Structure 1
Amino acid sequence: MEPEKFLEILSVAERLKCNTRHSWTSNGRRESVAEHSWRLALMALLLKDEFSKLDMDRVIRMCLIHDLGEAFTGDIPTFLKTEDDEEKEKREFMGWIDSFPPVQRSEFKALLAEMELRETEEAKLYKALDNLEAVIQHNEADISTWLLLEYELQFTYGADKVGFSDYLKRLKEAIDRQTTEKIAAEGTVPAAAGERNCDDLSEA
């Protein structure tokens, strides 16, 4: 890859450092899309021994590129994202990838097609970890940042993605226990949590 093209691609990807998600960090600031993608890739790296039969390097590549389309659209919360939003993100992302050198263009398109179909164990694992990372991050954030709907979403989000793996089912159970403890420590579900305007959110 020519240095100029390399720098051009990195410049677009840098937007993920600036684009924030609905999730908050443990020290009280909005999480960036780049931070979510980084920790998702770290999760896959840490689980290589648990999924020794899978191509975990491929899973890590999926984790690193999965949200690059949000460089063009920003991040929209799952509970607000429409089909039109998804189509716009995919169109702009694929248009950008078409400008890549042939080798990288081919690799990215192959990975994205596999991720979309979610038929391989690698794609299933990437998607499960993607959902679980978001739930873990919410548990690490102050509960005052949660919307009312997230008290239930913390338990349901990602639950449909872990069934293919005994390890992931145990991981989800451990996360759910943390969620239960966090809510119990709060005492009650505050009515004020439901008063936050979802339309003001830019991502999830």
Structure 2
Amino acid sequence: MMNGRELLEALTVAERLKDTTRHCYTSKGRHESVAEHSWMMTLMAFFMKNEFPEADFNKVIQMCIIHDLGECFTGDIPTFLKTKEHENLEEELLNNWIKSLPETTCSEMMNLYKEMNERQTLEAKIYKAIDGLEALIQHNFSDISTWSKNEFDLNLTYANDRVSFSEYLSILREEIRKDTIQKISNK
């Protein structure tokens, strides 16, 4: 259990994600926050839960909520710039923070992160696909003038490997690709 003070202290750290911006922009032209990315992922999970009746979507939603908490400590580094050193530092700082949480919360989060990293369960595969797809969708929502040069190709290919286990997610990926092609052709 987490008492009131422990909850407030944990939220003080997590609140940083509201001000931690991502590489991507919103449709109105401001940098998207990490918290907004996590929220949109969670909403996507809620909307698609009936497509995967065999999956535990409570767990998928929990994964979506916590997946970028490490960025409270390191900020967001775009996937095409993130190195193994960045990943290791983020994981170390995140794990140190998680270990400071009450035992039950610590254990639950460590188990979720382990499952997410291993990507063997259906829930972890769904979460990881949503993570990649949400970034692509947000790029399509943003003004194309905010895209870096490499994102024109990246938005056409990124996350293909993350959706291959699911016909539904593969079809969704193709719809996102169509939107990207349309956006690029209107440039």
Counterpart position of 2:163: 162
TM-aligned CA deviation for residue 167 of structure 1: 0.1
Counterpart position of 2:13: 12
Counterpart position of 2:95: 94
- Where 1:49 maps in the other structure, the secondary structure is helix
Which residue identity is paired with 2:74? T
- Please state if 1:37 is matched with 2:38: yes
TM-aligned CA deviation for residue 124 of structure 1: 0.5
Counterpart position of 2:123: 122
Counterpart position of 2:133: 132
For the residues of structure 1 that align with 2:84 and 2:164, how far apart are their CA atoms?
26
Q: CA RMSD in A?
A: 0.5
For the residues of structure 2 that align with 1:30 and 1:48, how far apart are their CA atoms?
28
Counterpart position of 2:78: 77
Q: Which runs of 4+ in 1 moved over 2 A?
A: none
Instruction: Using structure 2 for the length normalisation, give the TM-score.
Output: 0.99
TM-aligned CA deviation for residue 43 of structure 1: 0.5
- Where 1:135 maps in the other structure, the secondary structure is helix
Counterpart position of 2:178: 177
Give the paired residue count.
Answer: 186
Higher relative CO (CA 8 A, sep ≥ 6), structure 1 or 2? 1
For the residues of structure 2 that align with 1:135 and 1:74, how far apart are their CA atoms?
20
Which residue identity is paired with 1:47? M
Instruction: Using structure 1 for the length normalisation, give the TM-score.
Output: 0.90
TM-aligned CA deviation for residue 2 of structure 1: 1.4
Counterpart position of 1:200: none
TM-aligned CA deviation for residue 156 of structure 1: 1.1
1:140-182 residue CA offsets vs partner (Å, 9 max, x unmatched): 0000000111000001110111010000010001000000000
- Where 2:49 maps in the other structure, the secondary structure is coil
For the residues of structure 2 that align with 1:103 and 1:155, how far apart are their CA atoms?
41
Counterpart position of 2:53: 52
